[in-house]
């Protein structure tokens, strides 16, 4: 099987998993609210979910360079079934839901991508010239799949109106669907070949010793970004619901549209910006623009205006995802990609684990707008550190382009 075939299977698996995550992101906070959880409890449970994903992703990423990436890619979706299962059988018991989150919690879009192991695997199966293209291709497919998942998130209303389900019971079919999708995501990776077998055998250390300076600086920047994202983003479905009375159908439709626009910005916009002004400047540009749109949302008078700003912030800000993942894989040593991705992405996820609890507290103690302001400050700090640390650090393809010119 060729590298391109492996990438196709990898993209297919990530897409299936993104469908489940597309509706999980929407229904999880709303479902918790319906069974009586307050914003602080919701933030804490989201934090537990994130912490579980962080811990597992870090361990898998550190082991993958030495023992191979394929086994961990197959295992990752299987853990995620525990969270859906706990929601399905809990009967609204917060303790059972928390246990499921601890076992099978995910780390958002990073988990759909296979976490740091998936990042390293995709880089290993790509040439320098095709690496950013393949990352954009992957995120395009998985983001569109996430849009399908977001649309599925509206089904509880259908089950209530057409099939006579109670409000709480109407979420159960989606929990069951999540389990089936994650099992399929795992099975679909069985045919792929592992990557960089020679380096796996020769690898002696789990730590990225040759790339430690780059990893440290990227971890600082990613930590700021993780907090900026997670202090407010997990609460957006609940925020639209509480501020404007937007029901689950309207919120799901907005999130589905957001993922569609994001997919095309990642596929069409991101590679062109990176090729034009370079990877680092691209990441800085889109994050600053995204932060501006986000911080303006609390000032909007209606759901439509706030939703429009969210669409702009979401589709522009996350367009940098394939660029920054590809960039890191290009500037670290090839046999340290898994560990480098594990450490930097774990830093993002650790601050992202803390952030929802803080965001929930800020919403209750101060104002629902304060998490937006906090996010804006941290986004600007993230952009500043990216410029300071990496403005003069070029990946191989950009160095070669400069030489040719």
Listed by start position, the domains of the chain span 3-192+206-400
What pLDDT does 197 receive? 45
pTM over 0.75: no
Distance of CA 106 to the CA centre of its chain: 9
* Six-digit token string for 368: 């629902």
pLDDT at position 179: 92
Q: Which CATH class is domain 3-192+206-400?
A: mainly alpha
What confidence score (pLDDT) does residue 376 get? 93
* Structure tokens belonging to residue 363: 């919403």
Q: What is the pLDDT of residue 204?
A: 55
The pLDDT of residue 187 is 92
pLDDT of 196 reads 56
Q: Which pLDDT score is estimated for 373?
A: 92
Which residue positions in the chain have pLDDT lower than 50?
1, 197-200
Distance CA 18, CA 149 (A): 7
- What integer pLDDT is reported at residue 38 of this predicted model? 81
Q: Are 270 and 136 in contact (CB under 8 A)?
A: yes
Measured CA distances, 21 to 27, 85, 107, 125 (Å): 10, 14, 10, 25
Give the pLDDT score at 369. 84
What number of CA atoms fall less than 13 Å from residue 72's CA on the CB side? 27
Taking Cα atoms as reference points, which of 318, 254, 251 lies closest to residue 283? 318
- Closest among 145, 118, 138 to 267, alpha carbons compared: 138
Choose among 170, 138, 169, 131: nearest CA to 154.
170
Q: How many residues does the chain have?
A: 405
Per the rule left: phi > 0, alpha: psi between -120 and 50, beta: everything else, 300 is: beta
Listed in sequence order, the residues at least 6 apart from 353 whose beta carbon sits closer than 8 Å to its beta carbon are 47, 50, 51, 54, 230
Residue closest to 390 by CA, chosen among 342, 330, 338, 340? 330
3-state SS of the chain? CCHHHHHHHHHHHHHHHHHHHHHHHHHHHHHHHHCCCCHHHHHHHHHHHHHHHHHHHHHHHHHHHHHCCHHHHHHHHHHHHHHHHHHHHCCCCHHHHHHHHHHHCCCCHHHHCCHHHHHHHHHHCCCHHHHHHHHHHHHHHHHHHHHHHHHHCCHHHHHHHHHCCCCCHHHHHHHHHHHHHHHHHHHCCCCCCCCCHHHHHHCCCCCCHHHHHHHHHHHHHHHHHHHHHHCCHHHHHHHHHHHHCCCHHHHHHHHHHHHHHHHHHHHHHHHHHHHHHCHHHHHHHHHHHHHHHHHHHHHCCCHHHHHHHHHHHHHHHHHHHHHHHHHHHHHCCHHHHHHHHHHHHHHHHHHHHHHHHHHHHHHHHCCCCHHHHHHHHHHHHHHHHHHHHHCCCCCHHHHHHHHHC
Task: Read off the DSSP letter of residue 203.
Answer: -
């Amino acid at each position: 099987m060729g590298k391109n075939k492996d990438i196709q299977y990898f993209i297919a698996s990530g897409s299936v998993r993104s469908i489940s995550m597309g509706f999980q992101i929407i229904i999880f906070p709303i479902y918790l609210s319906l069974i009586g959880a307050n914003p602080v409890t919701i933030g804490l449970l989201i934090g537990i979910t994130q912490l579980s994903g962080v811990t597992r992703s870090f361990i898998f990423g550190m082991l993958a360079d030495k023992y191979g990436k394929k086994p961990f890619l197959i295992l990752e979706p299987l853990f995620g079934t525990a969270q859906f299962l706990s929601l399905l059988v809990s009967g609204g018991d917060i303790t059972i839901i928390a246990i499921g989150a601890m076992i099978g919690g995910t780390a958002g879009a990073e988990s759909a991508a296979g976490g740091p192991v998936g990042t390293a695997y995709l880089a290993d199966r790509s040439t320098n010239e095709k690496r950013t293209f393949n990352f954009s291709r992957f995120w395009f497919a998985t983001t569109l799949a996430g849009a399908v998942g977001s649309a599925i998130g509206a089904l509880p209303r259908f089950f209530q109106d057409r099939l006579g389900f109670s409000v709480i019971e109407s979420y159960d079919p989606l929990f069951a669907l999540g389990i089936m999708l994650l099992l399929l995501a795992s099975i679909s990776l069985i045919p792929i070949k592992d990557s960089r077998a020679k380096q796996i055998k020769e690898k002696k250390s789990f730590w990225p010793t040759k790339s430690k300076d780059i990893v440290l600086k990227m971890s600082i920047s990613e930590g700021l970004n993780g907090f900026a994202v997670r202090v407010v983003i997990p609460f957006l479905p609940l925020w639209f619901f509480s501020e404007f009375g937007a029901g689950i159908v309207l919120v799901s439709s907005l999130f589905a549209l957001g993922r569609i626009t994001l997919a095309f910005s990642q596929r069409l916009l991101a590679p062109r910006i990176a090729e034009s002004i370079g990877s680092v400047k691209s990441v800085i540009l889109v994050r600053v623009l995204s932060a501006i749109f986000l911080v303006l949302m609390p000032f909007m008078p209606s759901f439509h205006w706030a939703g429009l700003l969210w669409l702009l912030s979401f589709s522009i800000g996350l367009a940098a995802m394939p660029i920054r993942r590809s960039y890191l894989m290009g500037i670290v040593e090839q046999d340290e990609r898994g560990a480098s991705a594990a450490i930097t992405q774990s830093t993002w996820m650790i601050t992202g684990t803390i952030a929802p609890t803080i965001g929930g507290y800020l919403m209750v103690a101060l104002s629902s707008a304060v998490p937006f302001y906090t996010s804006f400050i941290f986004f600007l700090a993230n952009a500043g550190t990216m410029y300071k640390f990496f403005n003069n650090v070029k990946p191989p393809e950009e160095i070669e382009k400069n030489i040719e010119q």
